[in-house]
Amino acid sequence: MLPSVSNDIRLPIVDGKQKSLLSDISKIAYEEAGLIVVPEKAPIVLSRVSKRLRALKLDSMTDYQEILHGPNAATERRELISCLTTNVTSFFREKHHFEYLKLHMEGIRERAKSGHEVRIWSAGCSSGQEPISIAITILEAIPEAGSLDIRILASDIDQHVLKIAREATYTASQTESITPTLLKKYFQKVKNPDCSNRYQVLRSVRDLISYRELNLFSSWPIRKQYDAIFCRNVVIYFDRPSQVHLWKRFWDASRPGGLMFIGHSERIPLEISHRFLSIGTTTYVREAQPTSAHARTKGENLGT
């Protein structure tokens, strides 16, 4: 499903076997998950892959390459992609997005109260802090959300981070960005075997979220028109044609007037910008119909 693009990687100085493995990996990463392995990342990639070699008790990179193309290729490629992804996240990361979401809560409550379903998607949710921050924002404004048809889809390509997301139990340092009031209200303390504290998210919060392993470049078994999509700090690892392809699909998957939140260093590419109206920092509204770029430059009213 990815646009075809040459993935010619120019590597820093590495030996022949490493070079062969790296170009194989960069090809697989791009074809399977849209990930671009930049040359500067070669040492990190090699170090992460070395861990896989040790876990599989393999002696050589050539043996590993054989697995990547052998009968168990699908399983190992999944592990490889997991090694290559960056999973950094935190609660209420890029706080202004949750402020915007809060501003839309009255509309969301009205929609849900009048019998409509409300769907929010955290695409690339990593270990779950993003969908939990969304759920808490909803519950703060709509305490009865659990009895309404309001649901959050939390998806990621990486099975390992999804396991952590489903467990929804975090260390004290991971919860530092949550105010003491919210921590007390939505988390319960649990003891680790080493007696340190961990914080588990309450069931009332978790019940709003469904977790799913999903590669954004595979087909989406999703029929819903999303009211808001958070896809933050995910597409920075993709090339421009893949990003354009993805934003078009997000446009298709959201309802007119739906919100789109992207990461602080991401931008909606120019060729797709007529489909999303910027309403704030890295915050967009999905246009009902793609408006012409010409109309936009003339400053006409593009509201939905």
Which among 262, 237, 242, 267 has a CA at the least distance from the CA of 85? 237
DSSP state for residue 136 in the 8-state scheme: H
Residue 154 CB, shortest distance to ligand SAM, in Å, is 10
User: Is residue 233 part of the contact set for ligand SAM (CB under 6 A)?
Assistant: yes
Contacts of 161 (CB under 8 A, 6+ apart): 82, 85, 87, 125, 126, 127, 128
Q: Is 63 annotated as a binding residue?
A: no
d(CA 268, CA 20): 34
User: Is residue 215 part of the contact set for ligand SAM (CB under 6 A)?
Assistant: yes
User: Is residue 97 part of the contact set for ligand SAM (CB under 6 A)?
Assistant: no
Contacts of 36 (CB under 8 A, 6+ apart): 7, 26, 29, 30, 237, 238, 239
Q: x-or-dash pattern for ligand SAM, window 68-87, by CB under 6 A?
A: -----------------xxx
State the catalytic residues: 48, 156
Nearer to ligand SAM, 23 or 87 (CB): 87
Which residues from 122-141 bind ligand SAM, rule CB under 6 A? 124-126, 130
Q: Is 287 annotated as a binding residue?
A: no
* E strand or H helix that includes residue 120: strand 118-123
* 3-class state of residue 267 by DSSP: coil
Contacts of 70 (CB under 8 A, 6+ apart): none
User: Is residue 161 part of the contact set for ligand SAM (CB under 6 A)?
Assistant: yes
Residue 32 CB, shortest distance to ligand SAM, in Å, is 8
Give Dmax over CA atoms of the chain in angstroms.
64
User: Is residue 259 part of the contact set for ligand SAM (CB under 6 A)?
Assistant: no
User: Is residue 247 part of the contact set for ligand SAM (CB under 6 A)?
Assistant: no
Nearer to ligand SAM, 21 or 134 (CB): 134
Token look-up 């997005």 returns: 97
190 DSSP β-pair partners? 198
Part of the chain binding ligand SAM (CB under 6 A), chosen from 9-17, 119-127, 140-148, 179-187: 119-127
d(CA 94, CA 101): 12
Q: Is 197 annotated as a binding residue?
A: no
Q: Is 215 annotated as a binding residue?
A: yes
User: Is residue 197 part of the contact set for ligand SAM (CB under 6 A)?
Assistant: no
Q: What are the Cα distances from residue 218, in Å, to 85, 97, 101? A: 17, 27, 28
Residue 121 CB, shortest distance to ligand SAM, in Å, is 11
d(CA 121, CA 101): 13
Residue 98 CB, shortest distance to ligand SAM, in Å, is 12
User: Is residue 217 part of the contact set for ligand SAM (CB under 6 A)?
Assistant: yes
Q: Is 232 annotated as a binding residue?
A: yes
User: Is residue 157 part of the contact set for ligand SAM (CB under 6 A)?
Assistant: yes
Q: What are the Cα distances from residue 198, in Å, to 179, 193, 201, 209? A: 16, 10, 10, 20
User: Is residue 33 part of the contact set for ligand SAM (CB under 6 A)?
Assistant: yes
User: Is residue 234 part of the contact set for ligand SAM (CB under 6 A)?
Assistant: yes
What are the φ/ψ torsions at residue 127 (nearest 5 degrees)? -85, 15
Residues making contact with ligand SAM (CB under 6 A): 33-35, 85-89, 93, 124-126, 130, 156-158, 161, 215-217, 232-234, 237, 263
Q: Which residues are annotated as a binding site?
A: 87, 89, 93, 130, 156, 215-216, 232-233
Q: Which residues are annotated as a binding site for S-adenosyl-L-methionine?
A: 87, 89, 93, 130, 156, 215-216, 232-233
